[in-house]
Amino acid sequence: MSKIFNDTFLKAARGEATDYVPVWYMRQAGRSQPEYREIKEKYSLFEITHQPELCAYVTRLPVEQYGVDAAILYKDIMTPLPAMGVDVEIKSGIGPVISNSVKTLADVEKLGTINPESDIPYVLDTIKLLTEEQLSVPLIGFSGAPFTLASYMIEGGPSKNYNKTKAFMYAEPEAWFALMDKLGDMVITYVKSQIMAGVKAIQIFDSWVAR
Does position 71 have pLDDT exceeding 60, yes or no?
Answer: yes
- Helix (H) or strand (E) holding 195, with range, is helix 173-197
Mean pLDDT for the chain overall: 93
Task: Give the 3-state secondary structure of residue 50.
Answer: coil
Higher-confidence position of 29 and 187: 187
pTM surpassing 0.85? yes
pLDDT of residue 4: 64
> What is the spatial distance between Cα 141 and Cα 126, in angstroms, rounded to a whole number?
11
Q: What is the mean pLDDT of residues 187-199?
A: 98
pLDDT beyond 80 at 211: no
The C-alpha atoms of residue 159 and residue 169 are separated, in whole angstroms, by 16
- The arithmetic mean of pLDDT across residues 26-32, rounded, is 61
pLDDT of 82: 97
Residue-level pLDDT at 204: 95
Distance CA 183, CA 181 (A): 6
Residue 93 banded pLDDT, cuts 50, 70, 90: confident
Interval 101-133: pLDDT, tens = 999 999 999 999 999 999 999 999 999 999 998
pLDDT grade for 6, boundaries at 50, 70 and 90: very high
Residue 135 pairs in a beta bridge with: none
Is 94's pLDDT higher than 80? Answer: yes
pLDDT at 207: 84
CB 96 within 8 A of CB 89: yes
Domains and CATH numbers, the chain: 8-205 (3.20.20.210)
Name which of 1, 93, 83 is nearest 49 in CA terms.
Answer: 83
